Each structure stands twice: as structure tokens, then as C-alpha cells.
Amino acid sequence: MDEKEKLEKQQAGRRAFLGCLGGAVAGGAVAVTAGSVLPKQALAAAATTPESPPAPAAKAYDPTKHKWAFGVDATKCIGCLRCVEACKLENEVALDAHHFRTWVERYVYLDGEDTPHVDSQADPVNIAAAGTERDYRFSNRYKDEKVDKAFFVPKLCNHCTHPACVQVCPTGATFKTEDGAVVIDHTYCIGCQYCVQACPYGARFFNPEKRVTDKCTWCYHRITKGLMPACVEVCPVSARVFGDRNDKESTISKFLADNRVEVLKPETGNAPNVFYVGIDKDVS
């Protein structure tokens, strides 16, 4: 096949794909504004009532036009864990202490100690404080200690530029989309969990119900509809920032321009696309 022919074929493929995606988005949008919010009986009424907010125009989402990135300002994080809860509900993640698409870590340096005490909402002490695995709280376990320094660090999939998980996937069930999200095709994954092993960040887990690997998608079903990922949507202190790097006016572009950012475990060469402000030497 010569180059021109190849190019044409690719473009034709993309057009077909976009058509499909456009349909999906339109369907989703109608459901969002009517079906999922109102009772079923009201569905028909809502669709015809002129007062009801009009469904956003179904605009085809073009993955090639976006370059998503995520920012975390750890100095703002208050450890309320609403992001963790929102993520679990939005993405129907198993409601236990062993499966998280996002989580928050707490680093506490006690007086006279060089290494931090680290825990997350999944720590047994914190589960005991919340009273249930389904609720997420940081217990006040250091209230009687002398604390030198302490901070929270929200974690999620880094949607790396060179994702180790995608590299090791034997089937092509996990891949990096053209707009930068690393996602999983749940209908194609064989469940070998090699990607779970390969991720240096512990961002992946095995979905015990679907029996496939699962992970953060940056709420791909939301960002393709112009919404923010659920964790960003609910963060009450704007510690989480998300947006399109192709848009110079976006929050993430400004976040990256205004801050000296770092990434986690840069030595792995994965080149994360989740950028941190205000983390410390012991954060990994």
C-alpha cells in the first residue's frame, strides 16, 4: 500500500469513528438533561416542555483536537476525600477498601522523626474512624502527637506519555487515546493483570465483578461531553485541576504556566501527565 492510499484509508476510518462517537455523545446528552435526573413519567414532559433547559447541541467530539492533562495542588488538599467518594459513585467502582481509581495519601512527619507516617483512606485506622469501608474519612489519629509537617497528596492514574501498562498489555485492550487518556476496553481485556504489575503507581486494580482490569479514565465519558472529571467536579478547594493543554486559556494550561510542577517517579520514564505542586521528597 502506498503512502497516499494508506492516509486515505486512515482518514476514512477516522470519519466513521467520529460519526459513531457523535451519536454516542448526543444520546448521552439527552439522557443527562432528562432521563437520569427526572422520574421516568416526567421524561416525556421534560422533553417537550419549553422551560426545560435545551439539550446541548450534539457536537461531535474529536479526540485529535484535545490534549488532556491533570494538575494537583497538594498544598490546597484538605483530605476531605469527597473526590474518592465521587469517583466510586460516578464510575461504579467496588465500594470496598481495596479498589480505587483515585485515593488520597496523608504524609505526617512527627517531631524528631525523619521518615513520614503515610496512610490513605484505606488504612484500617481510617476505616474504623469512618465506621464503614464505604465511607471515606481520615481519622484524627495524630491529634495527641507533636506534628512537624503534614500534608495530603491526592493520587490517580498518571495517564503517562509512555505508559508501562499499555506497553505490557498483550492484547491491546488498554491503550492511550489520541487525546491522551489511558483507558481499558473492558470487552477485550483478558484479565491477566500484567498491567496491574507493571504500573509503578498502583493505579490499576482487578475489577472483581467484571473480572477485567480497571482504572481511572479521567472520566472519559464526562470529558468528552465537556464536563470535568467527577473528582475535579466535587473538589471543594480546587486542589484538582483538569483541562485541555491545547487551549492556552484553560485552567490546566495556566496551572502549568504559573507553577513549578513535578511528576511522580520520573525515573521510571513513564512521563506522567498528572502534574503536582507542593509535594515532598518522600512522596512516591
Partner 1 sequence: MEALFTPAAFTGYTYPNETVFPWGVLIVVYPYLTGLVAGAFTVSSLYQVFGMQRFKPVAHFALLASWCLMLFVPTPLLLHLGHPERAFNAVFTPHWTSAMAMFGYFAGFYILLLTLETWFVFRPHIVHQAQTLKGLPGLFYRVLTLGSYDLSEKAMRYDSKWIFALAVTGIPAAHGLHGYVGFLFGSLKSREWWSSDLMPVIFLFSAIISGTSLLIVLYVLSCKLRRVPVDVDCVKGMGYTLWGFVMFTLLLEGVEFANIVYKGREGIDMIMLFVSTRLLIPFFVVQIAIGAATPILILSFLFWRGVAGKALVTGITVAGCLVLINVIMMRFNVVIGGQEIAKTGKGLLYYPWELLGREGVLAAASVLIAPFLLMLLMVRVFPPWEDETKALSH
Partner 2 sequence: MPKHIVRLLLLLAGFAIVAITVRNHVVDKSFYKIGHYRADAVAEIAQDKPKFQGSASCESCHAVQFTAWSKSIHHSTDVGKVVKCEVCHGPGGGRDPDPGYVHAATGPVHPVNLKLAVPTDSRTTCGVCHEQIAARPLQQRQVVINDHAGTQQCTLCHDAHSPQTFNGSLVATAAPGNAVAGKSKAGACAACHGAAGITNASLPGPTLAGQNQAYLAAALTAYKTGKRSNPIMTGMAATVNSADINNITSYFSSLRCETSASIAAQAAAARKAGAAMCTNCHGTNGVSTSSSWPNLAGQSKDYIAAALKSYAGGQRSNVIMTTLAKSLSEPEIDKVAAYYAGATCK
Question: Which residues in this chain contact partner 1 in the complex, by CB under 8 A?
Answer: 97-100, 103, 105, 118-122, 155, 164, 166-173, 188-194, 196-206, 208-213, 268-269, 284
Nearer to partner 2, 266 or 282 (CB): 282
Verify binding: residue 280, partner 2, rule CB under 8 A.
Answer: no
User: According to CB under 8 A, which residues from 131 to 160 bind partner 2?
Assistant: 131-132, 134-135, 137-140, 142-143, 145, 147, 150-152
* Binder among 72, 80, 252, 277 for partner 2 (CB under 8 A): 80
DSSP string, 79-99: ---HHHHHHHHHHT--SSTT-
Q: Per-residue string for binding with partner 2, 223-242, x by CB under 8 A?
A: -xx-x--x--xx-xxx----
Nearer to partner 1, 117 or 225 (CB): 117
Stretch that binds partner 2, among 73-81, 156-164, 199-207, 263-271 (CB under 8 A): 73-81
Minimum Å gap between C-beta 209 and partner 1 is 7
